[in-house]
Structure 1
Amino acid sequence: MPGAPGGLAGLALLAVLLALPALAPAQPVPLPTLSIGIEEATSPRQVSVLIELLLIFTVLSMAPAILLMMTCFTRLIVVFSFLRNAIGTQQMPPNQVLVGLALFLTAFIMTPVFVQINETAVTPYMAEEVGAEEALRTAAVPIREFMFKQTREKDLELFLGLAKSPRPQNKDDVSTFVLIPAFMISELKTAFTIGFILFLPFLIIDMVVASVLLSMGMMMLPPIMVALPFKILLFVLVDGWYLIVGSLVRSFGV
């Protein structure tokens, strides 16, 4: 058939050209290397910088615990959890919403404390006017004042006795490691007290609905299912979020 040999030759030439790159030696692909080692420091400043970085990473890793232990976050999230259980909405609002609301309220309530820490400790330290130890001592003062205002004397005496510490003459004699757990259990008691008060109106609705259903002979109908719309309606009519959030913020003296 005319033209067939030429066509076959062209196809053979094209196959050879395509196979040449595969037959050529593969070029080495440069790979990055990573080396970790310990070298001798040439100045004390290099050692101090490494120690500061280690302390910063340690504080960052403990930031969630610091947020839970030394701020108002614990009271807020416990009360919100009690509220959700009292209404009986199961996972509404979801945990992410409650935690986010508690975090923003924590930032709002703790803003005066954070501003004072920034003015008295962080800014002088960044300007190299004070050392790290003095900056930490200065930053602890506003936090300790906040915790002292929310801590009951009974709880403070409990941990002073457990630590076998001598009776302090003033607040400065109280160790921070004694103050933090006393502040925590005081916050938990306050949060549980508020949660109990929140439960009462919703418990009354549950009891009324259960009594009505029982008197009507509807024993197979779950009272919780019938009471839930009434509890949500009550919470909306009284503007519950406004009342609860306002009361929580005012309870910290804001």
Structure 2
Amino acid sequence: MRGIGQVASSKWQVARGEWRMVSAGTTRWAMLGILLLIPVALVAQESIPVPRITVGVDSARTPQEVSTSLQILALLTLLSVAPSILLMMTAFTRIVIVLSFLKSALGTPNIPPTPVLVGLSLFLTFYVMSPTLEQINREALQPYMKKQISFEQALARAEKPVRQFMLRQTYTEDLNLFLRMRKQPAPRTPDEVPLTILIPAFILSELKTAFLIGFYIYIPFLVIDLVVASILLSMGMMMLPPVVVSMPAKLLVFTLANGWSVLAQALVQGFR
């Protein structure tokens, strides 16, 4: 037993010595790597200086500086809401609401995904608005780029096609509603309708039209749901959810009827 203990002790001392040698070698390599990295860090520090950023708020000294600050603030605010404003003045509102109604009527809340529906709505909007955009480009943007008209004249020319598009889609009762609420007499010509009245009236008209189209979309799918539920009840399969059977049936009917093409055609032709 004493011999076995001496052998084990000698092996432990040998292993301990080897570990010290490995540890010392690793330490030497680590120190060498650190020494090699120091010149690289010094060169990088000399070639790429760290910028100093100072932020300060100074008081305006002249009325012109105050006016400029307010103009910049108004511009930044307008840029943050400009996409929403532009979308509300186009065909996007009606198209995206109708497609959302279709997804709900099919009983597939996650199919197609929302980004797909939004992308389809945007491209259909560009298709519907292409005549208006071409007119704006021809009558307002190109003359302004050629410095033939001023910026104010370009805005006035660009407003006219958009105004005509919104007027064609807006119901008269919606226009009269906002005119009555403002207690303003009816304008003599459509061009005299202010945008503060035309835009909300146009949005209300688009919502009304989109909900009406959504009602027509729901009717055939509601009939399919009722038929499937009646068949399941007559067969005594009350424990089977009707949606399990009706959803494939609705998808099949919608696909066989070429529903996407029919709906896209109806949406595009619905704009005057």
- The answer to whether the superposition gives a TM-score over 0.5 is yes
Q: CA shift at 1:61, angstroms?
A: 2.5
Q: CA shift at 1:63, angstroms?
A: 3.0
What residue in structure 2 maps to residue 215 of structure 1? 234
- Is the counterpart of residue 249 in structure 1 residue 268 in structure 2? yes
> Kindly, what percent of the aligned residue pairs are identical?
49
**1:166-204 CA distances to partner (integer Å, 9 max, x unpaired)?**
221111221011000000010001000000000000000
Contact preservation (8 Å) 1:80, 1:98: yes
Superposition CA RMSD, Å? 3.4
Counterpart CA distance in 2 for 1:152 and 1:103 is: 24
Q: Tell me which protein shows more helix as a share of its residues.
A: 2
Higher-Rg structure is 2
Counterpart CA distance in 2 for 1:90 and 1:221 is: 20
**What is the TM-score of this pair, normalised by structure 1?**
0.81
Structure 2 gap ranges (5+)? 1-24
Label 1:23 to 1:214 Cα distance change in 2 as closer, same or farther (>3 A): closer
Label 1:21 to 1:195 Cα distance change in 2 as closer, same or farther (>3 A): closer
What residue in structure 2 maps to residue 118 of structure 1? 137
**1:62-112 CA distances to partner (integer Å, 9 max, x unpaired)?**
332123310000000000000011110121000000000000000111011
What residue in structure 1 maps to residue 151 of structure 2? 132
Q: CA shift at 1:162, angstroms?
A: 1.3
Query: Secondary structure in 1 aligned to 2:268?
Result: helix
1:1-254 mapped onto 2 (5 Å cutoff): 27=42, 29=46, 30-34=49-53, 59-253=78-272
Counterpart CA distance in 2 for 1:227 and 1:15 is: 70
Counterpart CA distance in 2 for 1:102 and 1:81 is: 10
Contact preservation (8 Å) 1:77, 1:98: yes
Counterpart CA distance in 2 for 1:18 and 1:132 is: 63
**1:116-162 CA distances to partner (integer Å, 9 max, x unpaired)?**
11111112222222222221111110000000000000000001111
Structure 1 gap ranges (5+)? 1-10
**Number of residue pairs the alignment of both structures matches:** 238
**What is the TM-score of this pair, normalised by structure 2?**
0.76
Counterpart CA distance in 2 for 1:201 and 1:16 is: 78
